[in-house]
Structure 1
Amino acid sequence: MTELLALGASHKTAPLALRERLALLDGQVEPFLQELIAHPQVSEAVAVSTCNRTELYVVVGEPVEAESEVLSILARRAGTRPTELLGSIYVERNCDAARHLFRVVSGLESMIIGEAEIQGQVKRAYERALHARTTGPLANKLFRAALATGKRVRTQTTISTGHASVASVAVDAARDAVGPLAERHVAIVGAGETAELTARAFHAQGVSTMFVANRHRDRAIALAERYGGASGSFDELPGELVRADVVVSSTASPHAIVGAEELADVMAERARRPLLLIDLAVPRDIDPSCAELEGVTLLDMDALQSAVRTNLRVRRAEAARAVDIVEDEIQRFAGWLGALEVMPTLGALRERGDAVVDGLLAENAGRWEGLSERDAERVEAFGRAIVKRLLHEPTQRVKELDPEHRHARLQLLRELFGLDETPAGELAESAEAGSPGDRLAPISRGAEIRRRRA
């Protein structure tokens, strides 16, 4: 039977050094997803990778085997043994996996409670999986329901009031470290979403001398123009480091951009004038050993966590309202998932009952030589009525099973009646469908995977 698994590590469970080894940069996502669904037990996969988390949502046939294999793939990526990841990786199944994703999209699992950026990040992760053709009926339903939940949370609560984000916390930390920012020179490395939020937050603090460095000059120019700053390439960065009071870096580079040796030369040229470095990138843009240089203060994502405790207290009441919305949406998803899980088992049970009747009729056909055609029809109808009556009560009880125990009891039912396992991916359903009643005709798992890869 098909199950949903979520495996991941976040700022709550893993240190930055491990998170950056697990992080998936843009060009790495699709090959990684293809590697996941190449495993026989994995039929669908979506990867969510941000500065604070790397999470995999996979649809599997045999959860224990699939969990072990996915953990091994993550361990290879991190360059370690699976056993060394166990303390940092969390694993959720079925509705618990869906609940976790709903909470992530709603901003309830973010370092900054209620941050709005996470919804866009999850949406882009889902779109990458669609492009890689590694989603299917269950993943499509899951992510569309999660994104709808996030939208409902932000519409019906004020959890995102103030638009707090990692970038705004970074700017607050900069103000705490160097004092009023209006007269400070700020260098921003990168021109993506986090960099834009950072530039906006500095601009709101009155910063008028700002430099934006990025590999793609046109993006740096556009960002600098929006907030009254100058722009340049990475080649100009050393000179800007000499001038800057505060440097905030948030690129998608797989390697460090600011090294300790280069920064030592910069600090000598600055005559030891203090420099604040804030690294918002995962993997990190700034070599951690830069913090050992005299006059340098370095804050990374782990260091910023202590600055968000106030945010947690302020938003706790709105977070409680958001949790209620998440639980309401989970009940809807659980109903859909439960029906998706229940109907194949009930169908197989009815087929088994019909097969028993067919077998008995065939075995006894030679004994009823004088039986009229009408009486034969009556005997068959009587046999099928007995099976239907016998299965009526179990059918009703199965439909009423609570989501928490449904899968285990369905598995027991299939074992007791010797029902064949339903191959993962066989329950093909329109990605748009809201209920299991809209299923397409079943197709084999192998055909489904070949169709997605074609």
Structure 2
Amino acid sequence: MAVASGFVSSVAELKTKMESTSLVHGVTSASSSSVACFPSQVRNLCKSSKIKLKVPERGAFGLSIRCEVNSDTLVRNDEIGSKASSLSALQLLKTSAGDRYTKERSSLLVIGLNVHTAPVEIREKLSIPEAQWPQAIGEICALNHIEEAAVLSTCNRMEIYVVALSQHRGVKEVTEWMSKISGVSVSDLCRHRFLLNNKDATRHLFEVSAGLDSVVLGEGQILAQVKHVVKSGQGVQGFGRKISGLFKHALTVGKRVRTETNISAGSVSVSSAAVELALMKLPTYSCTTARVLVVGAGKMGKLVIKHLVAKGCTKMVVVNRTEDRVAALREELKDVEIVYQPLTELLACTAEADVVFTSTASETPLFLKENVQTLPPVNSQVGGRRLFIDISVPRNVGSCVSDLETACVYNVDDLKDVVAANKEDRLLKAMEAKAIIPEEVKQFEAWKDSLETVPTIKKLRAYAERIRASELDKCLSKMDVDISKTKKKAIYDLSVGIVNKLLHGPMQHLRCDGTDNRTLSEILENMHALNRIFGLETEISMLEEKIRAKMDQSQK
């Protein structure tokens, strides 16, 4: 009786600890297999004691624990009772933390906000400059349940792609990280974010790369931004095999869609839409006479200038930190008068402009209400209000500027009206493009799933090699000490040959290189069968190792 009571009290103590720490350790968000979440030591102890452990119910704190003790198990060896008592409930809970998600496969996830789900006021707070993407990858991969990561941050979206060891925990950790770096509350992020996993996440990135998820359907700049993700991720720890493979395949999809559907023909980019918006807001007769200021001569600024020239603008002022890029534009556009001014002359140049385009990477507004309200009014022939077209994220023009009667402010979210003009033609091309996406998703998923067989192949070969080496040592120990090197090599070669011959069949059935007619499901079936037959437990043990390594790293 003393033994059983000692064990039951230990379980009771464990339950109390689990209830008091459930919010910290995530008991309430455990997987549906409640027994898998319960400490392995307690399960083993119950098994050895012939005690039935039942965890079928969920109480206010997550798990409701119930033990059934048979009458013939009440008298047991004192050693079992002392073992149960010596392991405190808290110790059991800590040592089992890595076990909770070992039944769960790693997931490919995208957690993001874009122009369709969140306003620019939220997106700009989450914006990450391209130069900081590697640092962001490192911070995300330092989270307990994140193995690989990539960041895609543009004027229309901020999306984080990860390989998560636990889907639920991974989403939670990334969302909290996004809140920490942006100052946006978790509740606000949850209201505006979108979550996609595995095939849906793959499909989404392919559609993004193809220009099917852009405000301007078919626009080409997003493909270059996806390319920058791959370029900036090279050599960065955390931009791993699955994530890099995903983005490289997305580049292939984007190129294929544009080649086969011609979706980008006749479509407008964000910069050209900004010019179109300005022309829509200006009186017809002022389109070629309005005084134009372009702030920023980067990629977007350069495109704005080119689109202005295409619309008949022959003179403009460009404000930039350095003159190099402006000088290059002068060489390229020799028939256009482009006047360079440094950033220190920004307000003076704005005072003489009717239309101001902004496209810089500044993380703080360049124009505030107090700056703009002191500027002289514009010519009544251009509408009487100074026009600000801000295509930067974060925004270069403070939202308070729009309160002024002398100014009119538009940002990237206001470009939708321009895009609607030729939307029908592009929608027809988009339908053709969308037919390509499922094919590419299927190809990528087959490649990704084929990676699952690699650990099994390695573990099976290591298993066979251990047996071969052991049996070879036994054989040589029974032979004469002075056996010749030639005979030793012959015996060694024989053992290697036998192992290779025996492994050839299983290895062939795990190959995913398309050299045979086996389907992916058949190959994965073979993998699971070999795991069971040889006790490799590849998927579970590897995931457990990764989680434990992450936990150990975070505790240092």
In the alignment, what sits opposite 1:423? 542
- Classify 1:426/1:248 alpha carbon distance in 2 versus 1 (closer, same or farther; 3 Å): farther
Counterparts of 1:292-331 in structure 2 under 5 Å? 292-331=403-442
Aligned mate of 2:389, from 265, 273, 278 = 278
Contact 2:377 2:386 in 1 (8 A): no
Q: Could you report, residue by residue, the CA deviation over 1:62-95 in whole angstroms, capped at 9, with x for unpaired residues? A: 2221111111101112213322211211111122
Counterparts of 1:79-158 in structure 2 under 5 Å? 79-158=183-262
In the alignment, what sits opposite 1:241? 350
What's the offset of the Cα at 1:31? 1.9
Counterparts of 1:25-424 in structure 2 under 5 Å? 25-180=129-284, 181-227=287-333, 228=336, 229-267=338-376, 273-341=384-452, 344=455, 401=521, 419=537, 421-423=540-542
What is the percentage of aligned positions where both structures have the same residue?
A: 31
Higher relative contact order (CA 8 A, sep 6+): 1
Q: Could you report, residue by residue, the CA deviation over 1:173-217 in whole angstroms, capped at 9, with x for unpaired residues? A: 111111342222211111111111111110001101211111122
- Classify 1:151/1:422 alpha carbon distance in 2 versus 1 (closer, same or farther; 3 Å): farther
Larger Rg over CA atoms? 2
- Classify 1:337/1:345 alpha carbon distance in 2 versus 1 (closer, same or farther; 3 Å): same
TM score, norm. by length of structure 1: 0.77
Aligned partner of 2:322: which letter?
Answer: H
Q: Could you report, residue by residue, the CA deviation over 1:30-79 in whole angstroms, capped at 9, with x for unpaired residues? A: 22111011123222211110000011111222222111111110111221
What's the offset of the Cα at 1:262? 1.0
Aligned partner of 1:221: which letter?
Answer: A
Contact 2:148 2:238 in 1 (8 A): yes
Q: Counterparts of 2:193 and 2:232 in 1: how far apart (Å)?
A: 23
Contact 1:23 1:50 in 2 (8 A): yes
Residue aligned with 1:87, SS: helix
Moved more, 19-28 or 45-54: 19-28
Aligned mate of 1:16, from 93, 102, 120 = 120
Q: Counterparts of 2:324 and 2:136 in 1: how far apart (Å)?
A: 30
Residue aligned with 1:86, SS: helix
- Classify 1:275/1:66 alpha carbon distance in 2 versus 1 (closer, same or farther; 3 Å): same
Q: Could you report, residue by residue, the CA deviation over 1:284-329 in whole angstroms, capped at 9, with x for unpaired residues? A: 0001111111221111112222332234322001101111112111
Contact 1:47 1:56 in 2 (8 A): yes
- Classify 1:283/1:223 alpha carbon distance in 2 versus 1 (closer, same or farther; 3 Å): same
Residue aligned with 2:158, SS: strand
Q: Counterparts of 1:3 and 1:245 in 2: how far apart (Å)?
A: 52
Q: What is the aligned-residue RMSD (CA, Å)?
A: 3.8
What's the offset of the Cα at 1:222? 2.4
Q: Counterparts of 2:271 and 2:522 in 1: how far apart (Å)?
A: 42
Aligned partner of 1:63: which letter?
Answer: Q
- Classify 1:261/1:63 alpha carbon distance in 2 versus 1 (closer, same or farther; 3 Å): same
Residue aligned with 2:438, SS: helix
Q: Counterparts of 1:37 and 1:81 in 2: how far apart (Å)?
A: 21
What's the offset of the Cα at 1:241? 1.3
Contact 2:267 2:426 in 1 (8 A): no
Q: Counterparts of 2:166 and 2:213 in 1: how far apart (Å)?
A: 28
Structure 2, unpaired ranges of 5+: 1-104, 469-501, 510-517
TM score, norm. by length of structure 2: 0.64
Q: Counterparts of 2:366 and 2:379 in 1: how far apart (Å)?
A: 19
Q: Could you report, residue by residue, the CA deviation over 1:244-301 in whole angstroms, capped at 9, with x for unpaired residues? A: 1211101000000111111111135879942111000000000111111122111111
What's the offset of the Cα at 1:338? 2.2
Contact 2:354 2:378 in 1 (8 A): no
What's the offset of the Cα at 1:23? 0.4
Aligned partner of 1:310: which letter?
Answer: A
Contact 2:373 2:406 in 1 (8 A): no
Q: Counterparts of 2:318 and 2:171 in 1: how far apart (Å)?
A: 43
In the alignment, what sits opposite 2:499? none
In the alignment, what sits opposite 2:109? 5
What's the offset of the Cα at 1:347? 8.2
Structure 1, unpaired ranges of 5+: 359-384, 393-397, 428-443, 450-454
Q: Counterparts of 1:166 and 1:129 in 2: how far apart (Å)?
A: 25
Residue aligned with 2:375, SS: helix
What's the offset of the Cα at 1:224? 4.6
Q: Say how many residue pairs are matched.
A: 395
Q: Counterparts of 1:190 and 1:425 in 2: how far apart (Å)?
A: 50
Contact 1:60 1:424 in 2 (8 A): no
Q: Counterparts of 2:416 and 2:311 in 1: how far apart (Å)?
A: 22
Q: Counterparts of 1:144 and 1:80 in 2: how far apart (Å)?
A: 31
Q: Counterparts of 1:424 and 1:118 in 2: how far apart (Å)?
A: 34
What's the offset of the Cα at 1:102? 0.7
